[in-house]
Amino acid sequence: MAGPHAARSGQAGDAPKICIYPGCERPAVPPHPMGGPQPAFCDLEEHNALTAHLERKRLAAAEGSKEEGNDDR
């Protein structure tokens, strides 16, 4: 079993971490200079865990209604 530090992002040579908000391609905020993990979201205030969750739910619902509309039987 790998230890907690086996897969570290942000090491030299790694690609920059991208915001995990659906559809966002901005780079994630850099880690705090005093240490800790790198944030998963960019610097846009509206890109946070709650709004990302709500957007994923909205996209899933839209995809589900689109699939129901394509059911031509």
Q: Which helix (H) or strand (E) holds 56?
A: helix 49-69
Instruction: Tokens for 31, please give them.
Output: 């880690």
Give the Cα separation of 22 and 50 in Å (integer): 12
pLDDT digits (tens, 9 = 90+) for 39-58: 999 999 999 999 999 999 99
- When pLDDT is cut at 50, 70 and 90, the band that residue 6 belongs to is very low
Give the Cα separation of 43 and 28 in Å (integer): 7
Q: pTM (2 decimals)?
A: 0.68
CA-based nearest residue to 52, from 18, 21, 19? 21
Instruction: Tokens for 21, please give them.
Output: 């908000």
Every domain of the chain and the residues it spans: 17-30+38-68
